[in-house]
Amino acid sequence: MKTVEVVAAIICEEDKIFATQRGYGEFKDGWEFPGGKIESGETPQEALKREIKEELDTEISVGQLVDIVEFDYPNFHLTMHCFFCKILKGDLVLKEHEASKWLMKYELDTVDWLPADQGLIEKLMNS
């Protein structure tokens, strides 16, 4: 099975975490942490900064690695590197997503996360 290498940004501000809803494709309407596929030659941190600039027109700093999620979807294996991030500059403009929410940790389970994110959400809620 092919492996897709993805980076995801857990953007925090004060006590809240930024969640986005996918606007297109196979997982449309599912909630996720913004990010995307690592391109060849990029470090995960570089990929994450590029993706957040593209998707949200925002510059971030990439902090601690929170988790590397390994998950089998029917058609591919996902390896997802998840980092805590902070906003440096920009207003999180939704260029690809259809909605977003700032959620407190205890509210994280109030949106419908993509299947691969379930374990991570539990971990964040219990942290």
Ligand X SMILES: Nc1nc2c([nH]c(=O)n2[C@H]2C[C@H](O)[C@@H](COP(=O)(O)OP(=O)(O)OP(=O)(O)O)O2)c(=O)[nH]1
Q: Which positions from 57 through 116 interact with ligand X, judged by CB under 6 A?
A: 78, 80, 114, 116
SS3 label, residue 88: strand
* Distance separating alpha carbons of residues 30 and 20, to the nearest angstrom: 8
Does residue 44 belong to the site contacting ligand X (CB under 6 A)?
A: no
The residue within the footprint of ligand X, chosen from 17, 21, 36, 48 (CB under 6 A), is: 36
Q: With CB under 6 A as the rule, give the number of residues binding ligand X.
A: 16
Q: What is the CB neighbour count within 10 angstroms for residue 2?
A: 6
**Min dist. Cβ of residue 6 to ligand X (A):** 4
| Vertex 51 angle, CA 4 and 19, to 5° | 90
Residue ranges binding ligand X (CB under 6 A): 4, 6, 8, 25, 27, 32-37, 78, 80, 114, 116-117
